[in-house]
Amino acid sequence: MIRFLAALGAALFLLFGSVHAQETRLDDIINRGTLRVGTTGDYLPFTSLDKATQTYHGFDIDMAQALVKALGVKVEFVQTTWPNLMNDFEADDFDIAMGGISITLDRQKKGFFSTPVMRDGKTPIARCTDKDKYETIAEIDKSGVRVIVNPGGTNERFTRANIKNAKIDVYNDNVTIFDQIAKGNADLMITDASETRYQQKLHPGVLCAVHPDKPFDFSEKAYLIQRDVALQEFVDQWLHIATDNGSLKKIYSAWFD
């Protein structure tokens, strides 16, 4: 009898333990019918918040809409900032972060990254009349050169790691930061090549991306996911299908080509 009860207890433990183990964040998202997407809303062409209408648009906003359609749920955008991105992520304010997120080892320590959606790297953007002056770090890192940077992200980290002699000005509004270069209040910014190409299109003949095809370093854009294997595998499979059927390319072309 004792052996029977012990065996029954073990069986029940395995049964309920197995059921508990199968409860995932992916299950929670599907059950509640909402995917919470953290995004800064200040980084075109990836994410931008229209403050008048409180609506988001951008490449990764379109990708988020495609992702929730695949999940069969609705999207809830949660605004964050670059300085607070990881704090908000660790606080579980959202399930996934989307919006031009670069893969870094520090971020990897705290979450999962999806399959990369594009290759990128840091490169300068300057006034077109000055673009030939700033092709190398050595040419940029001189006394009298004014480098502008947005706080809290990989742009500031790269700039401070490589620029020691030029003046670094921190500018808090990532939406209007490029206007400061156009107006002559700064000489250049070092940011992702993808962003320099887009800003060059927004400021034709005024701002020019400096060798965006040959950035200073290597990086990749991906989606930062809370530590849930089931959710990560779903996102990766969705990206795999979107790559194969051309839907990712269609969204990409709308913003980058």
pLDDT digits (tens, 9 = 90+) for 220-256: 999 999 999 999 999 999 999 999 999 999 999 999 8
Give the pair of three-digit tokens for residue 90.
């660790």
- Which helix or strand (DSSP H or E) is residue 42 part of? strand 42-43
How many angstroms from the chain centroid is the CA of residue 109? Answer: 16
CATH code of 122-209, in short, is 3.40.190.10
pLDDT digits (tens, 9 = 90+) for 89-117: 999 999 999 999 999 999 999 999 999 99
- The reply to whether 122-209 shares the fold of 2-119+219-256 is yes
Measured between alpha carbons, how far is 10 from 4 in angstroms, rounded to an integer? 10
Which of 157, 81, 120, 126 is CA-nearest to residue 252? 120
The answer to whether 37 touches 97, Cβ cutoff 8 Å, is yes
Preceding amide of 45 cis, omega within 30? yes
| Ramachandran category for residue 163: left, alpha or beta (phi over 0 → left; psi -120 to 50 → alpha) | beta
- What are the residue ranges spanned by the domains of the chain? 2-119+219-256, 122-209
User: What is the CATH T-level fold of the domain 2-119+219-256, as seen in this structure?
Assistant: D-Maltodextrin-Binding Protein; domain 2 (3.40.190)
Mean pLDDT by 10 residues, the chain (257 residues): 53 53 90 98 94 95 98 98 96 98 95 97 98 97 97 94 98 94 98 95 96 96 98 98 97 91
* Per-residue CA distances from 188 to 127, 173, 202 (Å): 7, 15, 16
What pLDDT, on the 0 to 100 scale, is given for residue 9? 55
| 0.85 surpassed by pTM | no
Residue carrying structure tokens 């990254």: 113
